[in-house]
A and B are shown apart, each in its own frame.
Chain A
Amino acid sequence: MHHVVIPEINSAAIWRDKARAFLGAGTPPDHILWGETTIAPDLFATPAHSPQGGPVSVPRSFISLAEKVVWHSDPERFARLYSFLWRLRDAPHLMSDRGDADLARLRQMEKNVRRCQHKMKAFVRFREIRFERANRRSFAAWFEPTHNTVEPTADFFARRFADMDWRILTPKTSAIFEGGTLTFTQGQPKPDLPEDASEALWITYFRNIFNPARLKPRAMQSEMPKKYWKNMPEADAIPELIATAPARAREMARAAPTLPPRHMAGAQAQLASCASAWDGPSSALSSAITACTRCPLHRNATQTVLGEGPVDADLMIVGEQPGDMEDLHGTPFIGPAGQLFDRLAQAAALDRRAAYVTNAVKHFKFKPQGRRRIHQRPNSSEINHCKWWLEAELAQVRPKLILALGATAAQALTGNGAALMSRRGTVEKTPTGQPVLITLHPSYILRQTDPKASAAAETLLVQDLKAAMAMLA
């Protein structure tokens, strides 16, 4: 029988070395008695010699599990770890068996340690202590963790509070950080830390951030168990806050509404004089379109996407509706389809900036899907509602030729919603007699999965763009 004593400080590394040596030597779990320094040695045990053995290989996931479990307060933790490690020798897949009872127990202990570490990060409360002639500020805290979590958690505080000296004193292990070096010492009795003025401010904050109308003390206690309260300055206020909350909430409900204060009119007058940097230059038409609520699409879209380009342009290009990017930027034809159009326009020697570019429908219609928006085709009613604005734009720009991209634009301009492919390349007329050249929408090209089909569609669109240039020339 081997008797192994693992000290409180540096337990993880020491246990790991011992366990590796025993495993290499093939020592079964029932031949080892694991102990802490606080437990009296077993009468029949022989003091441990370090057995020498061959190399061992252990799943990585076990090592990270063990590095947590060694800090648990259960006196059986070392024995439990070693006996599971022993089982792992022949069955390494056990680590991924979430139903195994031994592993479930170890995972539970790991979870306890993690939670205890997390609560320590949250609930340690420093008070400032002053030393003569010190060039760094100094802080100290008294804390009573459930498990021995000071050592594995101290690094967190060292990373966070590197520009000050601090010490966390506990009954078991204490951490001291001075001048950038972290050391651990034995536990201590509770020290008498000096009063700290910031603590009163913190309690004021705690009392006032509480909303008495939504009292939920059970939710508070499940996350902040009472065992931590004695070392948290704000916790003293909790019983009184709970006791007075119902009366405070009733009082708020009972109080009659008051009359507005006298300074209200003056304060609101300031508002009228504020100019917003978001409001660009606007014409009567553009502000009327922006304010449009004729169909429900305006509720979901970010903004109205107005037409863009010279108002005396010869060519007017009409697309279907803004897409995701157009909706976010507020500019037409800048998304993937817009970029493709620009490339093809270049091939056809068409200068887009010289044309007036707009859409048949001015708001983006979409269906949310997770973190993406899926484009939805506008229906006839939406197209008809928005036709009002398209006609107003036509009346303002009075182009020599209108280029309708896709079926929606063709329908809005000519009133004819028939299939597009048989009509493309032909010139139709608006009800007022303006010529409309019908062609494909660039997004049709983007939708093609077959490269041949998409190349063919590109050729057709370029051909129509060239035709438009020829008509204008």
Chain B
Amino acid sequence: MSVKSLEQKLAILSDAAKYDASCASSGSTKRDSRGGKSLGSNEGSGICHSYAPDGRCISLLKILMTNFCIYDCSYCINRVSSNVARARFSVHEVVKLTIEFYRRNYIEGLFLSSGVIRSPDDTMSEMVQIARKLREEEHFRGYIHLKTIPDAAPELIEQAGLLADRLSINVELPTDAAVAQYAPEKKPEQIRRAMADVRLRKDAGKDKSFTGKRPARFAPAGQSTQMIIGADGSNDAAVLGQSTRLYSSYKLKRVYYSAFSPIPDSSSKLPLIRPPLEREHRLYQADWLLRFYKFELDEITSVTQDGNLDLEVDPKLAWALANRALFPLDVNRASREMLLRVPGFGVKTVSRILSTRRHRALRYEDLTRMGASMKKAKAFITAGGWSPGALTDSIDLRSRFTPPPQQLSLL
């Protein structure tokens, strides 16, 4: 085997990393390098340094330490039974790439993942070594996200959490049965135990000691996970049910939904389809409604018969169309909870409505200036100078929001 150049390795190992959706660099501790002795800063909000033509943000150097792997997960490009080109970075190479990219303002930090080589513990300890070298030798204060190997020893997870901003462990698929089918070496209960362990360590990091001293912060930007959508037969109710359980059980910062995408040298076990991007988008919208708009899971998933989200209209609009008896709402009197349920109103719009209506009554034109999307909202509200009349209950209301029907091709 010929020795690969750094550029060739980077090509292979970034290609292998692109199926991880997360690229967040936000929500960690605030820090900077003002003293002149270190490099990097983190100011709370994330920064997307570039965007690839797939519309995804590039915030971190997202690479695999190696794409050699002893697991055989059908959906994964790096599974042992695949014939993709393999490569492996040395610890020094990853550190150098991260630092040189960071100095040129290409990235916010490093997102390091890896195939499992030799054993989970060996792989994890090498990843920890990279993070340690960045922090302790290069004095790097940027963002580090480590993908945890669920079977790795708890001590290694502890060290990883003290060095990194975020840890993540992928649940991979929405149900245990699907994991057993497509990722035979992975154990769902072990993945959950590892997530519970991260949560407990993070909780323990918040307690002050008897003398009032705070322990070192553990994974200050929290933990996240990823689920592949469309590889197994789970419906959206199952997917969202799983994510609400994960949010409540392990206090996850984010659950990422990744539409199953064709990979080079794919397994015969999974059919290659166009990735269900629209479904992925609707799941994210539903996820937001559950977390920030006080919707209940069954309110969102009971709109359709089969437990899948409506692909043509967003989940909030779908809910409002199915519950028109509650509308129109008077924006000058309705409660915050109900205003949040108006399609076209976001959290910011609602807080602007509430702060302005303390001084005066709101008119229709005010709402457009407050950032509301009136094309959607106008059928569901009344305001000064505006009443939807029969629009709210009209039969063709839905068709105003859906794409026009298309003539099927005869050929």
Provide the residues of chain A in CB contact with B43, threshold 8 Å: 156, 159
Task: Name B325-349 residues within 8 Å CB distance of A.
Answer: none
A303→B262 contact, CB < 8 A: no
The verdict on B314 contacting chain A, using a C-beta distance below 8 Å, is no
Identify which of A121, A232, A261, A268 contacts B83 (C-beta below 8 A): A261
From A160-168, A423-431, A464-472, give the one contacting chain B: A160-168
Q: Please, what's the 1-or-0 string for B252-267, where 1 marks a CB less than 8 Å from any CB in chain A? A: 0000000101111111
From B28-36, B162-170, B227-235, B390-398, give the one contacting chain A: B28-36
Provide the residues of chain A in CB contact with B355, threshold 8 Å: 96, 98
Report Cα–Cα, A383/B268, bound state, in Å: 42
Q: Please, what's the 1-or-0 string for A188-204, where 1 marks a CB less than 8 Å from any CB in chain B? A: 00000000101111101
A278→B175 contact, CB < 8 A: no
Given contact pairs A257-B267, A264-B81, A223 touches B57 in the complex (Cβ within 8 A)? yes
The verdict on B302 contacting chain A, using a C-beta distance below 8 Å, is no
Instruction: State the Cβ distance, A197 to closest chain B Cβ, in Å.
Output: 9
A369→B14 contact, CB < 8 A: no
B41→A260 contact, CB < 8 A: no
Q: Which residue of B lies closest to A324 (CB)?
A: B249
B103→A208 contact, CB < 8 A: no
Q: Which residue of B lies closest to A212 (CB)?
A: B54
Provide the residues of chain A in CB contact with B196, threshold 8 Å: 302-303, 327-329
Report Cα–Cα, A276/B34, bound state, in Å: 43
Identify which of A99, A214, A215 contacts B362 (C-beta below 8 A): A99
From B205-213, B316-324, B364-372, B399-407, give the one contacting chain A: B364-372
Task: Name B1-35 residues within 8 Å CB distance of A.
Answer: 6-7, 10-12, 14-15, 17-19, 32-35
Report Cα–Cα, A215/B10, bound state, in Å: 22
Given contact pairs A200-B7, A220-B54, A213 touches B275 in the complex (Cβ within 8 A)? yes
Report Cα–Cα, A96/B63, bound state, in Å: 46
Report Cα–Cα, A208/B61, bound state, in Å: 12
From B126-134, B240-248, B304-312, give the one contacting chain A: B240-248
Report Cα–Cα, A98/B56, bound state, in Å: 33
A209→B17 contact, CB < 8 A: yes
Given contact pairs A201-B97, A303-B193, A210 touches B52 in the complex (Cβ within 8 A)? yes
A255→B40 contact, CB < 8 A: no
Report Cα–Cα, A253/B14, bound state, in Å: 21
The verdict on A241 contacting chain B, using a C-beta distance below 8 Å, is yes
The verdict on B285 contacting chain A, using a C-beta distance below 8 Å, is no
The verdict on B181 contacting chain A, using a C-beta distance below 8 Å, is no
Task: Name A176-228 residues within 8 Å CB distance of B.
Answer: 180, 196, 198-202, 204-220, 223-224
Provide the residues of chain A in CB contact with B34, threshold 8 Å: 158-159, 162
A99→B356 contact, CB < 8 A: yes
Report Cα–Cα, A97/B352, bound state, in Å: 8
Provide the residues of chain B in CB contact with A372, threshold 8 Å: 248
The winner among A211, A260, A268, A366 for most chain B CB atoms within 10 A is A211
The verdict on A400 contacting chain B, using a C-beta distance below 8 Å, is no
Q: Which residue of A lies closest to B188 (CB)?
A: A299
Identify which of A125, A157, A200, A330 contacts B106 (C-beta below 8 A): A125
The verdict on A419 contacting chain B, using a C-beta distance below 8 Å, is no
Place the interface of chain B in its size category.
35 or more
Given contact pairs A96-B358, A255-B265, A257-B265, A204 touches B10 in the complex (Cβ within 8 A)? yes
Instruction: State the Cβ distance, B30 to closest chain A Cβ, in Å.
Output: 10
Task: Name A105-128 residues within 8 Å CB distance of B.
Answer: 118, 121-128
The verdict on B189 contacting chain A, using a C-beta distance below 8 Å, is yes
A205→B14 contact, CB < 8 A: yes
Provide the residues of chain A in CB contact with B194, threshold 8 Å: 278
Q: Which residue of B lies closest to A210 (CB)?
A: B52
Given contact pairs A125-B105, A162-B38, A202-B104, A99 touches B248 in the complex (Cβ within 8 A)? no
Report Cα–Cα, A128/B99, bound state, in Å: 13
Report Cα–Cα, A234/B52, bound state, in Å: 9
B61→A161 contact, CB < 8 A: no
A126→B105 contact, CB < 8 A: yes
Given contact pairs A198-B101, A209-B62, A260-B81, A163 touches B39 in the complex (Cβ within 8 A)? yes
Provide the residues of chain A in CB contact with B97, threshold 8 Å: 201
Q: Which residue of B lies closest to A96 (CB)?
A: B355
B363→A99 contact, CB < 8 A: yes
Report Cα–Cα, A404/B15, bound state, in Å: 58
Q: Which residue of B lies closest to A108 (CB)?
A: B369
Task: Name A261-301 residues within 8 Å CB distance of B.
Answer: 261, 264, 267-268, 270-271, 273-274, 276-278, 290, 298-301
Report Cα–Cα, A126/B38, bound state, in Å: 18
A201→B6 contact, CB < 8 A: yes
Provide the residues of chain B in CB contact with A215, threshold 8 Å: 53-54
The verdict on B90 contacting chain A, using a C-beta distance below 8 Å, is no
Task: Name A223-265 residues within 8 Å CB distance of B.
Answer: 223-224, 232, 234, 238, 241-242, 245, 249, 252-253, 255, 257-258, 260-261, 264
Q: Which residue of B lies closest to A220 (CB)?
A: B51
A101→B264 contact, CB < 8 A: no
Instruction: State the Cβ distance, B68 to closest chain A Cβ, in Å.
Output: 8
Instruction: State the Cβ distance, B399 to closest chain A Cβ, in Å.
Output: 24
B193→A302 contact, CB < 8 A: yes
Q: Please, what's the 1-or-0 string for B261-298, where 1 marks a CB less than 8 Å from any CB in chain A? A: 11111111000101101000000000000010000010
Report Cα–Cα, A271/B80, bound state, in Å: 11
Given contact pairs A267-B70, A303-B192, A274 touches B55 in the complex (Cβ within 8 A)? no
The verdict on B100 contacting chain A, using a C-beta distance below 8 Å, is yes
The verdict on A104 contacting chain B, using a C-beta distance below 8 Å, is yes
Identify which of A97, A208, A224, A371 contacts B251 (C-beta below 8 A): A371
Provide the residues of chain A in CB contact with B274, threshold 8 Å: 213
The verdict on B136 contacting chain A, using a C-beta distance below 8 Å, is no
Report Cα–Cα, A329/B196, bound state, in Å: 8
Task: Name A348-388 residues within 8 Å CB distance of B.
Answer: 366, 368-373
Report Cα–Cα, A299/B245, bound state, in Å: 10
Q: Which residue of A lies closest to B200 (CB)?
A: A328
The winner among A118, A159, A209, A218 for most chain B CB atoms within 10 A is A209
Task: Given contact pairs A252-B264, A255-B265, A276-B151, enumerate 16 new A-B contacts (beta carbons under 8 Å).
Answer: A161-B33, A164-B39, A198-B101, A201-B6, A204-B11, A204-B14, A215-B53, A242-B53, A252-B263, A270-B70, A276-B120, A276-B190, A299-B175, A300-B245, A328-B196, A373-B249
13 contacts between A and B (CB under 8 A): A98-B353, A99-B366, A159-B33, A160-B41, A162-B34, A204-B14, A238-B53, A245-B53, A270-B70, A271-B70, A271-B185, A301-B192, A329-B200
The 7 closest A-B pairs by CB, nearest first: A219-B55, A99-B366, A216-B55, A368-B248, A277-B153, A260-B81, A159-B32
